[in-house]
């Protein structure tokens, strides 16, 4: 794995990971395992640094895990490697709780887990509200546009009302209207 994600890819700083290294992260995600950076892979210099790291480490394949931006960068890097006849193959793995990759793939790492955890919380709140009959709970669920997490949680929990940001914006709705 590359230390601090793409930053490690650019500098060639990598660590071999064994069972003991990853055991603590089993079924819990692993973004903190080696750290991460939000660097993009866009420039010729980035491509050349990534290529140098892959050649130095004699990698057969480079797997990049991430959302829409990371997978776009993965495609560009794969094209660069193919054009330069670099031996390392580049593979993108979709991982985004936002659900913004669902148009292009059946699922992504993180989305299902996020929806189930949030739905469990919303379901517990709904049970509490139904038993007390005097409470209203307003839950704001994280995520980008589109509101795939909110929609998935609403499908799982069947709340009285689910406000979808895109619909509110398109219809110029507000809570007072």
Phi-psi region of 158 (alpha: psi -120 to 50; beta: other; left: phi over 0): left
- Residue among 40, 45, 33, 42 at smallest CA distance from 4: 33
How many helices (H) and strands (E) the chain has is answered by 7, 2
* Cβ atoms 88, 59 nearer than 8 A: yes
Tokens of 93: 């793995």
Note if 98 is an active site residue.
yes
Residues 19, 73, 98, 112: which is the catalytic one?
98
Tokens of 1: 């794995």
Query: Catalytic positions, please?
Result: 98
């Amino acid at each position: 794995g590359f230390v601090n994600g793409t930053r490690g890819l650019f500098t060639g700083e990598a660590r071999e990971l064994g069972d003991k290294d990853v055991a603590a992260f089993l079924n819990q995600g692993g973004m903190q395992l080696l750290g991460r950076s939000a660097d993009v892979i866009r420039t010729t210099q980035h491509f050349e640094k990534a290529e140098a790291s892959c050649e130095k480490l004699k990698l057969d394949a480079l797997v990049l895990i991430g959302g829409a931006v990371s997978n776009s960068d993965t495609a560009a890097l794969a094209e660069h490697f193919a054009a330069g006849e670099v031996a390392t193959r580049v593979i993108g793995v979709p991982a985004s709780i936002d659900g913004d990759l669902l148009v292009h793939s059946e699922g992504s790492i993180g989305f299902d887990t996020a929806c189930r955890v949030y739905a469990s919380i919303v379901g517990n709140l709904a049970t509490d509200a139904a038993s007390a009959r005097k409470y209203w709970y307003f839950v704001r669920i994280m995520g980008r546009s589109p509101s795939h997490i909110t929609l998935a949680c609403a499908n799982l929990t069947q709340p009285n009302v689910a406000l979808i940001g895109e619909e509110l914006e398109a219809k110029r709705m507000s809570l007072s209207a």
